[in-house]
């Protein structure tokens, strides 16, 4: 039996976030009998009655700090202090606590698998000190890890170019979005939002500058096409300004976060185009999820998105290019791209595949031989 600790997430059951969804789907049915996971969770982010001792066969342990925000680094360090003994493999998701690794390695030589995420230090929301800190933490992660995990070929190339290190390429799964929603329920949800099947575009993301929400909104305001945009509009000054500017535009619906999985399924399943504006990070979970819905994807033109979609989606850099893509009426071309997205998703982004890829990094001989 291999005991594997996972640190760096808010915890499970997953509520939001790519790493939380990753953990949710590599434990449980995708975990072989010879592996026992322990997931470190934030007791501050779960109400007392929500804190479980085990979930999907994994043990849960709690740290009394928030997993995100300014407490994220001490949260990760506290978790690392707890895993120095009793585990064969430690999986770290994200780099914010990796500044502690030089000390950690003095006392613990167990196998360390680190997913460095999507070059967090390049995100526009961080100030100069935060960017330096995250860059240094990333360097410590690469230096001290036994296995570096990159979720995108672009990230893998970055690690090789900057640090001269090889990394394991493991993306995210997205097949958890598959579900059964009856036609009557789908019609009711579409009616609730005043929508007709294949007559609107859809996007969902955090409202941040690197997700190019302003480009998407500008394009649809000019084009007159119907857009449904779900995001955390009130979280930042950037989101509040966009909400103020575009909430009165008749063809655009700005919707606060939605957690009803049926609603999200229906809005994705019936849209004409899915818009993906992310320019930072590696393989974005929201893009992978959208690829399972057999619809054309219009993605911001960066290497990460091209790698994820194998250059078979449609790409834009500004509002005018996005408007031109919205005007594409070549039915056969659109249909082919939609089918390509679905084929890639079902070939590369299944949680069963992702789970096995992680298990292989734990040095499990029996798993590799299966």
Instruction: Name the residue with higher pLDDT: 268 or 118.
Output: 268
Coil, helix or strand for 7? strand
Between strands 227-230 and 252-255, the pairing is parallel
Q: Is the pLDDT of residue 368 over 90?
A: no
Locate all alpha helices (DSSP H) within 85-203, ordered by sequence.
101-107, 128-144, 153-163, 183-192
Q: Which pLDDT score, from 0 to 100, does residue 111 have?
A: 96
Cβ(172)–Cβ(288) below 8 Å: yes
Co-location of 227 and 204 in the same domain: yes
Q: Give the closest residue to 304 by CA, choosing from 175, 152, 83.
A: 152
Cβ(214)–Cβ(275) below 8 Å: no
Cα separations (Å) of 243 from 162, 192, 235, 247?
Answer: 39, 21, 11, 5
Distance CA(127)–CA(273), nearest Å, equals 34
Co-location of 179 and 135 in the same domain: no
CATH number at residue 297: 3.40.50.2000
Token readout for 121 is 């230090």
Q: Which pLDDT score, from 0 to 100, does residue 317 have?
A: 98
Q: Quick one: pLDDT band at residue 118, thresholds 50, 70, 90?
A: low
Q: Quick one: pLDDT band at residue 369, thresholds 50, 70, 90?
A: very low
Co-location of 145 and 10 in the same domain: yes
Cα separations (Å) of 94 from 8, 194, 209, 268, 304?
Answer: 6, 40, 21, 28, 18
Between strands 252-255 and 35-42, the pairing is unpaired
Domain tally, the chain: 2
Q: Which pLDDT score, from 0 to 100, does residue 17 have?
A: 79
Co-location of 153 and 255 in the same domain: no
Instruction: Name the residue with higher pLDDT: 75 or 119.
Output: 75
Element holding 105 (H helix, E strand): helix 101-107
Q: Which pLDDT score, from 0 to 100, does residue 237 have?
A: 96
Co-location of 125 and 168 in the same domain: yes
Distance CA(313)–CA(298), nearest Å, equals 6
Co-location of 159 and 198 in the same domain: no
Co-location of 163 and 182 in the same domain: no
Cβ(328)–Cβ(314) below 8 Å: yes
Q: Which pLDDT score, from 0 to 100, does residue 102 have?
A: 97
Between strands 168-169 and 147-150, the pairing is parallel
Between strands 201-204 and 89-93, the pairing is unpaired
Residue labelled with tokens 């070059």: 119
Co-location of 132 and 187 in the same domain: no
Per-residue pLDDT of 100-115, as tens digits, reads 999 999 999 999 999 9
Q: Is the pLDDT of residue 280 over 90?
A: no
Distance CA(223)–CA(217), nearest Å, equals 10
Co-location of 28 and 132 in the same domain: yes
Q: Is the pLDDT of residue 366 over 70?
A: no
Q: Which pLDDT score, from 0 to 100, does residue 125 have?
A: 63
Co-location of 52 and 145 in the same domain: yes
Per-residue pLDDT of 176-215, as tens digits, reads 999 999 999 999 999 999 999 999 999 999 999 999 999 9
Per-residue pLDDT of 138-180, as tens digits, reads 999 999 999 999 999 989 999 999 999 999 999 999 999 999 9
pLDDT-wise least confident of 58-62, 115-119, 263-267, 353-357: 115-119
Q: How much is the pTM?
A: 0.88
Co-location of 168 and 227 in the same domain: no
Q: Which pLDDT score, from 0 to 100, does residue 192 have?
A: 96
Q: Is the pLDDT of residue 367 over 80?
A: no
Q: Quick one: pLDDT band at residue 121, thresholds 50, 70, 90?
A: low
Average pLDDT, the chain: 93
Coil, helix or strand for 168? strand
Segments forming the whole domain that contains residue 251: 175-348
Co-location of 98 and 193 in the same domain: no
Q: Quick one: pLDDT band at residue 15, thresholds 50, 70, 90?
A: confident
Coil, helix or strand for 288? helix
Element holding 74 (H helix, E strand): helix 72-82
């Amino acid at each position: 039996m291999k005991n594997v600790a996972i640190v760096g997430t808010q915890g499970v059951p997953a509520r939001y976030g790519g790493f939380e969804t990753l953990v949710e789907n590599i434990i449980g049915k995708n975990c072989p009998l010879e592996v026992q996971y322990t997931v470190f969770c934030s007791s501050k982010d779960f109400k007392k009655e929500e804190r479980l001792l085990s979930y999907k066969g994994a043990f849960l342990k709690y740290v009394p700090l928030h997993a995100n925000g300014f407490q994220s680094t001490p949260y990760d360090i506290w978790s690392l202090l707890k895993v120095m003994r009793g585990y064969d493999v430690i999986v770290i998701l994200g780099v914010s606590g990796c500044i502690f690794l030089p000390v950690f390695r003095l006392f613990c030589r167990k196998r360390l698998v680190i997913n460095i995420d999507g070059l967090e230090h390049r995100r526009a929301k961080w100030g100069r000190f935060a960017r330096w800190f995250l860059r240094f933490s990333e360097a410590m992660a690469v230096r001290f890890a036994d296995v570096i995990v990159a979720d995108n070929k672009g990230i893998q190339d970055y690690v090789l170019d900057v640090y001269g290190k090889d990394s394991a390429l493991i993306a995210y799964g997205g097949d958890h979005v598959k579900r059964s929603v009856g036609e009557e329920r789908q019609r009711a949800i579409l009616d609730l939002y005043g929508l007709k099947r294949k007559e609107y575009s859809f996007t969902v993301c955090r409202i941040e500058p690197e997700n190019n929400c302003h480009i998407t909104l500008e394009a649809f305001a000019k084009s007159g096409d119907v857009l449904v945009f779900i995001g955390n509009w009130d979280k930042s000054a950037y989101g509040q300004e966009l909400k103020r500017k575009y909430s009165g535009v008749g063809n655009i619906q700005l919707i606060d976060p939605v957690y009803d999985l049926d609603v999200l399924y229906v809005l994705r399943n019936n849209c004409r185009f899915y818009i993906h504006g992310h320019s930072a990070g590696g393989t974005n979970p929201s893009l992978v999820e959208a690829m399972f819905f057999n619809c054309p994807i219009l993605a911001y033109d960066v290497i990460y998105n091209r790698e994820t979609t194998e250059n078979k989606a449609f790409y834009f850099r500004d509002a005018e290019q996005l408007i031109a893509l919205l005007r594409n009426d070549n039915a056969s071309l659109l249909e082919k791209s939609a089918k390509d997205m679905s084929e890639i998703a079902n070939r590369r982004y299944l949680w069963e595949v992702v789970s096995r890829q992680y298990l292989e990094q734990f040095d499990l001989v029996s798993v590799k031989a299966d």
